[in-house]
Structure 1
Amino acid sequence: MANEHPSVRARTAPDRPRRRDIVITALLGLMVLLVLLIGGVLEPGAWLAASLAFSALAFIYFLTAVTRGAPRPSAQITRPVVSSELESANAMLEKIAVPVLLIGPGGRIERANPAARAFLALGAEGGLLSTSLRQPRVLEAVSAALRGERGTVVEYASLAPIESHVRAFVEPLRMPVAGPMPWRAMLVLADETSSKRAERMRADFLANASHELRTPLASLSGFIDTLRGPARDDEEARDRFLTIMREQTDRMRRLIDDLLSLSRVEMNEHLPPSGEADLAAIARDVVDSLRPMADARAITFELSLPDAPARITGDRDQVYEVVENLVENAIKYSPEGAIVAIEALDNCTRDIAEHAPERLAPQSARLLLAGPPFDPRQRYGVLRVRDNGAGIDRRYLPRLSERFYRVDGQKSGPTAGTGLGLAIVKHIITRHRGGFSVESATGTGSAFSVFLPKPVPDADAAARVLADTASGVDAG
């Protein structure tokens, strides 16, 4: 017995008196039956049957007492197996890219994998789910699961600060714990923003293209019929009509290009970019590419750019498109021989980025068309493009970034655009978590400013990535 497991000795020692009592009780019972047989109370057959039954029952109880103290190998073996399975499950959960949370009594977050912590910007486990995800339908489904009710699927969407679409899967889990609250709720969040945007993008593209292309296609059809009929032999009319047809064809090409560009931007607007770019270098490249267009109208550029790189967090191609749209508009809407001023500032606070430049004129109006989430630690790179055109009346400023919106007087003629340029600028700036503002005064000109976030220090990078990701999830 020296090598016997302690748990076996602990269980066997108390059972020895029990076995002795069973044997004594069985002997006393047989003696009673024997006395009854001698006294003539029992027949020999009945005595034999009763003695056998009593002996069998006593033997069964004796065996029960002997085996009760034996060790339970399953308990000794199962415990490490279960522990290993839990460790494997936890390791697998940590690697899953889908946000998964385990919600306990009172709506407290007991477990959250890294994807969930990034998606909801969780500081630490143990907090209330309602403080990170303020969606009543999801919270109601979690409460129902904590009561042991059936799981459910909840879809919710938010429009501010960034449009997002999420499907939440809620399932009850019964935990092997004692107590009045054994139920937990498993919450899985699936981000379906990209698929929703793709569906809407296809519908919007067809609607916008069919609407905006109808006019130039009608013009082309009319000119073609005229050239095939009355103007068949009229060289002067043919040349004039072909020139107009070329202009309409170019407009349709620009319109399709802008629609595709806008669709691509909207597709990924909820995902902030992670690359870096030099804002000053982009401005120089844009000026070089548009210089022929400016020379054709005798327009000169006045540059005020820092010599050192103005690093920002962003997609270089999209930032280039922003600057190109703003400079091209400034060239188109300035009179011949005018000056287009381009200025870049680096490492500015939000207040300076939004309000630093002096006003164009005492009566000018300034409006913020898109703004970033508030963060006092964030610094920005700023680009400001000013023209010397006719200016824009203050009543039109709020609608400048709408699709296909063009101010009266800009809807026709050689400077007529597609009405999508500033909408593209706004969506790109919104994706970059930056700001976009306009200032204008009638008769003085207009100034468009964009400010884009600078890269954060390495020590704060992880926390800021969580905050940027969470800005696409509705917390309010």
Structure 2
Amino acid sequence: MADTNRADRTGDGLLQLAVRRLWGSRWLLSGGVAGVVVASSVAGSALYIAPAIVVVLLAIAAFAPTSERSLPLPGAGPAEAMSLRDLSGEYLAAAVADPLIIFDRYGSVIHANAAAMAAFGNLAPGLSLPLKFRAPEMQVLIEAVLSGNAAVETAEYIEKLPVERAYRVSASPVGHGTELYVLVFKDQSETRRIDRMRADFIANASHELRTPLASIAGFIETLRGPARKDPAAQEQFLQIMQNQTGRMARLIDDLLSLSRLEMRPYLAPGSRVDIGQVVGSVIDSLGPLAKDNGIVVEKNFIEGPIEVAGDRDELFQVFENLMENACKYGQSGGRVVVSIDRGTSGPEPTVDVTIRDFGPGIAEEHIPRITERFYRVDVDASRSQKGTGLGLSIVKHILTRHSARLSIKSELGQGAAFTVHLPAK
């Protein structure tokens, strides 16, 4: 009845059901046709052969049992269309994005998916897993799952070459009584990297705040004790305390600014700004700082307005950070050159803004890390210039949101050039 009901759901249900049952009972059908032919020949009349065959076919189709391997009906569900037992283990392994290795009770590889081959190189069938993965934690894991002590075993494993990757490995038997086992490697490298960055960030921020707090606490204790009646010492200590609180305020402001940038989605700004006006405003606002440091600012802008897609306040912050660094750390050079030009060296046209100083320069080994949080080329010089170590990290985040990039060129004794490449379109 179930087959009949399913067949009735289609326009040709009866015909499809008949065909299925005819195919499932093909041996019985052959015998029936032969019997009809013999009977007709005995009767001596060929006119009744065709109707007799049709009757036999319909009878067999109606009452003969169907085959277990018959084709699925239209509208049949996935479980009816194909049994899970019919799926190849290789197909299932290939569908897993993580590295997966199937092995036998001797620890020999039976099959490895493409992700495992890419991660660990050649894993040919028959290769011994204990010889391939020699780390003690992997030896213990494989031995434990082969001994059958637990249904699922896990371990932490670090692959050193070609690059260091951290995996959480789980091992379990496949089915019941198959004597096959599976290793699945879950890549934890990115998670560990983020956790390490978070821990470093907290440690650095705590250190930067702890230093001025300890200084302020020490001066307060001095003012309440030995310097209680010393006006000159009081004035000196109060000035230092004011400088330290200002340093903490700047650090907190930069941390909040960085936090806001990281929480913002990386969507391209919808407004357009004249980059020449933005850079000109930065130069005007930092004029007093340049004068105090004995810096002469030279402008080299191309003619006419140059519009780019961007947020004016964020781009102002970018160039303010770069210009302030050039005035502070390039003080010995006596001048800073700010230029705006059209870039054509890349695959897409850009607007390039370069801020170049003529100070001591930056050693080559520092350049790749200079935009990291709290990274300083010279810690003492940075703190003496009231730096927080977050300025270039903020610059990098803002430029990422603007689909722009920062390039740095420097030689010791020749100064440094920071170039912002903004998309021209």
Which of these residues, 231, 241, 245, is aligned with residue 245 of structure 1? Answer: 241
Please state if 1:446 is matched with 2:416. yes
Listed one character per residue, the Cα deviations across residues 383-412 of structure 1 (whole Å, up to 9, x for unaligned) are: 211134x33264675464563424387245
Q: Normalized against structure 2, the TM-score is what? A: 0.54
Please state if 1:302 is matched with 2:302. no
Please state if 1:275 is matched with 2:268. yes
Listed one character per residue, the Cα deviations across residues 139-186 of structure 1 (whole Å, up to 9, x for unaligned) are: 899x99xxxx99998989999xx9998989999999xxxxxxxx9x9x
Q: How does 1:182-221 map to 2 (within 5 A)?
A: 193=190, 196=192, 199-221=195-217
Q: Equivalent residue for 1:13?
A: 29
Q: Equivalent residue for 1:349?
A: 345
The Cα of 1:106 is off from its aligned counterpart by 9.7
Q: Equivalent residue for 2:356?
A: 386
Higher relative contact order (CA 8 A, sep 6+): 1
Which of these residues, 118, 136, 139, is aligned with residue 120 of structure 2? Answer: 136
- Residues 301 and 433 of structure 1: is their aligned pair in 2 closer, same or farther, counting only changes over 3 Å? closer
For residues 255 and 323 of structure 1, the distance between their equivalents in structure 2, rounded to whole angstroms, comes to 19
Q: Please tell me whether the aligned partners of residues 404 and 419 of structure 1 are also in contact (alpha carbons under 8 angstroms).
A: yes
Q: Please tell me whether the aligned partners of residues 343 and 349 of structure 2 are also in contact (alpha carbons under 8 angstroms).
A: yes
- Residues 279 and 418 of structure 1: is their aligned pair in 2 closer, same or farther, counting only changes over 3 Å? farther
- Residues 335 and 434 of structure 1: is their aligned pair in 2 closer, same or farther, counting only changes over 3 Å? closer
Listed one character per residue, the Cα deviations across residues 257-281 of structure 1 (whole Å, up to 9, x for unaligned) are: 445656777x78xx99452578974
SS of the residue corresponding to residue 80 of structure 1 reads coil
SS of the residue corresponding to residue 360 of structure 2 reads coil
Which of these residues, 53, 72, 80, is aligned with residue 75 of structure 2? Answer: 80
Q: Please tell me whether the aligned partners of residues 103 and 110 of structure 1 are also in contact (alpha carbons under 8 angstroms).
A: no
Q: How does 1:39-438 map to 2 (within 5 A)?
A: 69-70=64-65, 78-82=73-77, 105=90, 130=114, 134-136=118-120, 193=190, 196=192, 199-259=195-255, 273-276=266-269, 281=274, 284-285=277-278, 287-289=280-282, 291-298=284-291, 300=297, 302-304=299-301, 307-311=305-309, 321-335=317-331, 339-350=335-346, 377-388=347-358, 390-392=359-361, 394=363, 397-398=366-367, 400-401=370-371, 403-407=374-378, 410-413=381-384, 415-425=385-395, 434-438=405-409
Listed one character per residue, the Cα deviations across residues 72-101 of structure 1 (whole Å, up to 9, x for unaligned) are: 799577553236998xxxxxxxxxxxxxxx
Q: Please tell me whether the aligned partners of residues 396 and 407 of structure 1 are also in contact (alpha carbons under 8 angstroms).
A: no
Q: Please tell me whether the aligned partners of residues 104 and 110 of structure 1 are also in contact (alpha carbons under 8 angstroms).
A: no
SS of the residue corresponding to residue 306 of structure 2 reads coil
Q: Please tell me whether the aligned partners of residues 227 and 238 of structure 1 are also in contact (alpha carbons under 8 angstroms).
A: yes
Structure 1 unaligned blocks of 5 or more: 21-64, 87-101, 113-127, 175-182, 351-376, 456-476
Q: Equivalent residue for 1:42?
A: none
SS of the residue corresponding to residue 409 of structure 2 reads strand
Structure 2 unaligned blocks of 5 or more: 1-13, 37-59, 82-86, 98-111, 129-145
Q: Equivalent residue for 1:56?
A: none
The Cα of 1:220 is off from its aligned counterpart by 0.8
SS of the residue corresponding to residue 118 of structure 2 reads coil
Q: Equivalent residue for 1:357?
A: none
